[in-house]
Amino acid sequence: MDVSRFERDTAVEPIADGRYAGAIDPGWAVIDGAAPNGGYLMALAARAMRDPVPAHPDPVTLTAHFLAPPTVGEVEIAVEVLRSGRRHSTVEATLSQAGEAKVRLLGAFGDLAAAEGPSRVDRRPPELPPLASCVDFTTEHERRAEAGGFPPPPIAQRFDHRMPSAVLGWTEGAPSGRGHIGGYLRWRDGSEMDTLGLLVVADCYPPAIFDAALGDIGWVPTIELTVQVRARPSPGYLAGWFTTEAVTDGYLEEDGEVWDASGQLVVLSRQLALASRPRR
Amino acid sequence: MDVSRFERDTAVEPIADGRYAGAIDPGWAVIDGAAPNGGYLMALAARAMRDPVPAHPDPVTLTAHFLAPPTVGEVEIAVEVLRSGRRHSTVEATLSQAGEAKVRLLGAFGDLAAAEGPSRVDRRPPELPPLASCVDFTTEHERRAEAGGFPPPPIAQRFDHRMPSAVLGWTEGAPSGRGHIGGYLRWRDGSEMDTLGLLVVADCYPPAIFDAALGDIGWVPTIELTVQVRARPSPGYLAGWFTTEAVTDGYLEEDGEVWDASGQLVVLSRQLALASRPRR
């Protein structure tokens, strides 16, 4: 069976009791040659975290704190199962490079295929225009790069992104002022999305604050990201919607919802990040 | 100087390097004689977590995973500072009783009095009726208890709660169906609210799902609670608003916003909990 790009780039290997080896691939960077995407780091760590709890393969809630900037290359992931119950296992992990902790994670893993209980969803999927009238973000970005613009970041090339033009004004200096971003998306290599892949989806868009008309914003480092995964996604395009609605003294949340092609809510995410003014 | 009830009941004492002793007071239970409130446990642990990082007294984002039900009485809190930077310290803690881990926490602490950066809040405080037309929840609960109803849970007695009657229909078998709860609140003993107290506020209401008209819901155990504290609160009543908008196979989020009397957003919170049907 073919191994997808995502599976290959998040593969981990046990090297000792509670310790796993993996590698950060350059193809998931936010900036070419630097800054691996936070959601990708979570997925890489989560693959190790779920290994000792095979009855609980799905991260129902996973929190990551980003301690230091990781670089491309080898990582070690130390995993500790704090509690293993009937319905959930609570697992902690540290992703390190050369002995330095880069990401600390704490999460509860379960089996979403076996989940049962009441259901009622008052949230609604984002109102996106039809797929055919969305901008093919990555291809468009590549086209602009050929014309002398910035190349699309590697992380954007992992997805087939179709975005409404209404959320892309900021790329031409005309943000909407609402602090929204989103669109349809799936893996660009056509492979199936799973609940680890959703961790990347929860962090894969440019910061919603770029659409907020707050003036120049430079780097938006994530302090903490928590992703609730609610269901295993159906095949087809996902619809993602991310909003920043409270920027206070530089602190901001980015709230995300991701829906699958069958209309199921599959992710609720929230991060705390810092908006910094660009360095002159 | 007087010590407030909250300060007294969350006091911790260093007992060894990175270890603190404290005690769970019965006055913060969700059910009389059992189930200490999750936000109270977070505040108790957070007081120990911030002790080794005096330059960073405010929990800017704190996540707790509830591993096993704690009981009233002595606790030990083991604290590890994972990273201490200029702006934030990342701290982990385990709250244990008799050697058993009950709550695991991971958070970033900072100094909100020194925070600076862009600000813009598109969220709005809840539209509450004037204070004078709200129900004095705790007093009303006590009155009903005298008439043979359930007594107010101890945690409700720690607050001066003023709630719009529109969010209290569920107490008389008539939920609104929206999954909302909130109101004005402050410490009942009149003491000042601080950023540790806000951790309790973020978890102090009855579950919003009780207002959702989903039929009988029994216990709503929290799996994970993350609280972002955005500012040190001004004196006066806070306004809290909590909503549950996506119940999927028993999993539910409860999102909270807390605003202070000056109109500042002071808390954004989200928890993942499980809605269970009552046992017959």
pLDDT tens digits, A30-42: 987 788 999 999 9
> Chain A closest CA to B35's CA: distance in Å?
19
Q: Is the dihedral of CA B10, B14, B15, B17 positive or negative?
A: positive
Nearest to A48 by CA among A112, A115, A107: A107
Mean pLDDT to the nearest integer, A50-57? 98
Q: Which residues of A fall within a CB distance of 8 Å from B122? A: 178-179, 245-246
Instruction: Quote the CA–CA distance of A215 and B15 in Å, as a whole number.
Output: 49
pLDDT of residue A116: 92
- In the predicted structure, residue A107 carries a pLDDT above the cut 80: yes
Q: Chain A contacts of B179, Cβ < 8 Å? A: 122
Q: How far away is chain B from the Cα of A87, in angstroms, using its nearest Cα?
A: 11
pLDDT of B138 reads 86
pLDDT at B218: 78
Instruction: List chain A residues with CB under 8 Å of B276.
Output: 117
Task: Tell me the chain B residues in contact with residue A230 when contact means C-beta distances shorter than 8 Å.
Answer: 246, 248-249, 251
Any domain includes B59: yes
**A82-111 average pLDDT score:** 97
Answer whether A48's CB lies under 8 Å from A22's CB. Answer: yes
Residue A54 above 90 pLDDT? yes
- What is the sign of the dihedral through the CA atoms of A37, A42, A43 and A48? positive
Predicted confidence at residue A99, as pLDDT, reads 97
Q: How far away is chain B from the Cα of A250, in angstroms, using its nearest Cα?
A: 4
The yes-or-no verdict on residue A152 having pLDDT over 80 is yes
Above 90 in pLDDT, residue B216?
no
What percentage of chain A carries pLDDT values higher than 90? 84
Contact B135, B164 (CB under 8 A): yes
User: Is B279 among the domain residues?
Assistant: no
Task: Look at A21-30, A213-222, B62-71, B185-194 and tell me which has the smallest mean pLDDT.
Answer: A213-222
Q: How confident is residue A219, by pLDDT bands cut at 50, 70 and 90?
A: confident
The larger pLDDT score, comparing residue B114 to residue A172, is at B114
A58 CB neighbours in chain B (<8 A) are none
Cβ within 8 Å, pair B119-A61: no
Q: Would the pLDDT of A189 be above 90?
A: yes
B52 to A79, B18, B96, B270: CA distances (angstroms): 25, 8, 19, 27
For residue A25, how far is the Cα from the chain centroid?
A: 15
Please state, in angstroms and rounded to a whole number, the distance separating the CA atoms of residues A46 and A120. 28
Cβ contact, residue pair B223, A61, below 8 Å: yes
CB within 8 A of A258, min separation 6: which ones? A198, A201, A202, A238, A239, A240, A241, A265, A266, A267, A269
C-beta neighbour count of A272 within 10 angstroms: 22
What is the β-pairing status of strands B89-97 and B73-84? Answer: antiparallel
**Predicted confidence band at B140 (pLDDT cuts at 50, 70, 90)?**
confident
Residue in chain B nearest A81 by alpha carbon: B67
Does residue B54 have a pLDDT over 60?
yes
Q: Do B67 and A61 touch (CB under 8 A)?
A: no
| pLDDT of res. B242 | 98
Chain B, nearest residue to A266 by Cα: B248
B203: which residues sit within 8 A by CB, 6+ positions away? B37, B38, B39, B40, B42, B222, B225, B269, B271
Asked whether residue B122 is domain-assigned, the answer is: no
Average pLDDT for residues B190-217, to the nearest whole number? Answer: 93
pTM: 0.97
Q: A1: pLDDT confidence band, cut at 50, 70 and 90?
A: low
Which residues of chain B make contact with A217, given a CB cutoff of 8 A? 118
Six token digits for residue B62: 């704190």
How many Cβ atoms sit within 10 Å of the Cβ of residue B267?
Answer: 22
pLDDT value for B67 = 97
Instruction: Please say if the pLDDT value at position A280 is more than 60.
Output: no
Q: Mean pLDDT over all residues of chain B?
A: 94
In angstroms, the separation between the Cα of residue A16 and the nearest Cα of chain B is: 23
Give the Cα separation of A113 and A136 in Å (integer).
Answer: 33
Nearest to A180 by CA among A217, A209, A214: A209
Across the interface, whether the CB atoms of B272 and A108 are under 8 A apart is answered yes
Q: Do B217 and A118 touch (CB under 8 A)?
A: yes
User: How many residues are present in chain A?
Assistant: 280
Give the pLDDT band of residue B102 (cuts 50, 70, 90): very high
Strand, coil or helix: what is A10? coil
Residue A120 within a domain: no
Instruction: Indicate the number of domains in chain B.
Output: 1
CA B163/CA B198 separation, integer angstroms: 18
- Per the listing, tokens 């992380």 go with A155
Q: What is the ipTM of this complex?
A: 0.96
Please give the backbone phi and psi of residue A206, each rounded to the nearest 5 degrees, phi first.
-60, 150
On whether the CB atoms of residues A38 and A62 are closer than 8 A, the answer is no
**Of A137-141, B104-108, B150-154, highest mean pLDDT:** B104-108
Considering only CB atoms, B115 lies closest to which of A68, A223, A251, namely A251
CATH number assigned to the domain comprising residue A14: 2.40.160.210
Per-residue confidence (pLDDT) for residue A215, from 0 to 100: 80
- Boundaries of domain holding B241: 5-113+128-274
Chain B residues with CB-CB distance to A275 below 8 A: 117-118
Cα–Cα distance for residue pair A47/A129, rounded to 1 Å? 35
Cβ-Cβ contacts under 8 Å between A and B: the total is 176
Q: Kindly identify which residue of chain A lies nearest to residue B84, measuring between CA atoms.
A: A67
pLDDT value at residue B280: 54
Q: Are strands B13-16 and A19-24 parallel, antiparallel or unpaired?
A: unpaired
Looking at the DSSP bridge assignments, the partners of residue B75 are B22
Nearest of B187, B147, B181, B186 to residue B164 by alpha carbon: B181
- The answer on pLDDT for A140 being more than 60 is yes
DSSP E strands: which ranges in chain B? Answer: 13-16, 19-24, 29-31, 34-36, 58-66, 73-84, 89-97, 100-110, 120-121, 135-136, 159-163, 180-187, 222-229, 238-243, 246-248, 251-259, 265-274
B230·A247 Cβ contact <8 A: no
- Report pLDDT for B7: 98
Closest C-alpha to B138, from B155, B152, B154, B148 = B152
pLDDT band at B31 (very low <50, low <70, confident <90, very high): confident
Hey, of B42, B62, B65, B242, which one would you mutate to test binding to chain A, going by the most A CBs within 10 A of its CB?
B65
Average pLDDT over chain A reads 94
Tokens of A248: 């206070």
Alpha helices, H only, chain B: 5-9, 38-49, 137-146, 154-157, 197-201
Whether B118 maps to a domain, the answer reads no
Q: Answer with the residue of higher pLDDT: A20 or A213.
A: A20
Query: What letter does residue A79 receive in the DSSP assignment?
Result: E
Residue A171 backbone class (left: φ over 0; alpha: ψ -120 to 50; beta: rest)? alpha
Residue A171's pLDDT is what?
A: 86
